[in-house]
Amino acid sequence: MKKKFYVMRHGRSLANEAELIVSSLNQGSEHWGLAEGSQKQISDSVASSGLPKELTIVSSPFLRARETAQIVSKLLKMSPVRIEEGLRERFFGKWDGVRDDSYREVWVSDERNPDNRNGGVESPSDVLKRVLEVLERIEASDGPDAVLLVSHGDPLNILLAHAAGLGAENHRRIDGMKTAEIRPLCFEGASSLGK
């Protein structure tokens, strides 16, 4: 890849505080933004991240991610944030709107099958495909050589598992992204954007 990618999970959100799964595009785009105190969490993360001075910021359309990206953009005095629907939260089907301890049930099924769609959930394979398509579009575009992707836990963990050479179904076997965490995206075990 020509560009250097960094990934960032959104800051602590109202959904995190309510311990709810909010994964539908309609709900997530309009509601459930950042929780109180998230700005400091994001500022601290950016300050210790070592992000380059020239950077394109690309965000999920979900409110919690957009607000995070806008804070980062303001802190770094960057141009407007680009929105990519492919960075949206993973859709959790029948678990959307329920307590977040239900994630475990989905993740157990994921480990058995990367194409897990039980209960209408978006499969790890499908999530990886759409996120890699975003990276391909960005890679082919003009702009700075560094890119920050602001997204959500499952999409980023699935991408990181792929980059480490693990299957998408193994996204719980990596050190998961914490809220407001920033990491460089390094393709160690995968052939770059190869699917």
Rounded Cα–Cα distance for residues 19 and 29 (Å) = 18
How far apart CA 128 and CA 41 sit, in angstroms, is 27
Sole residue written with tokens 């998408």:
168
Indicate the pLDDT class of residue 1, thresholds 50, 70 and 90: confident
Res 195: pLDDT: 46
Phi-psi region of 62 (alpha: psi -120 to 50; beta: other; left: phi over 0): beta
Cβ-based neighbours of 114, under 8 Å, separated by 6 or more: 123, 124, 125, 167, 168, 169
3-class DSSP state for residue 151? strand
Name the residue among 54, 9, 6, 10 with its Cα closest to residue 163: 6
Nearest to 160, CA basis, from 186, 195, 193: 186
Query: Which ranges of 100-188 does DSSP label H, i.e. alpha helix?
Result: 103-112, 124-139, 153-163
10 close to 88: Cβ distance less than 8 angstroms = no
Q: Are 148 and 6 in contact (CB under 8 A)?
A: yes
- Mean residue pLDDT of the chain comes to 94
Q: Global pTM?
A: 0.95
Residue ranges of the alpha helices (H) in 9-142? 14-18, 25-30, 38-47, 63-76, 103-112, 124-139
- Is there a contact between 150 and 138 (Cβ–Cβ < 8 Å)? no
pLDDT tens figures, 5-40: 999 999 999 999 999 999 999 999 999 999 999 999
How large a percentage of the chain has pLDDT more than 70?
A: 96
- pLDDT the model gives residue 189: 59
- What number of helices (H) and strands (E) belong to the chain? 7, 5
CA torsion sign for 169, 16, 21, 7 is negative
Q: How much is the average pLDDT of 130-135?
A: 98
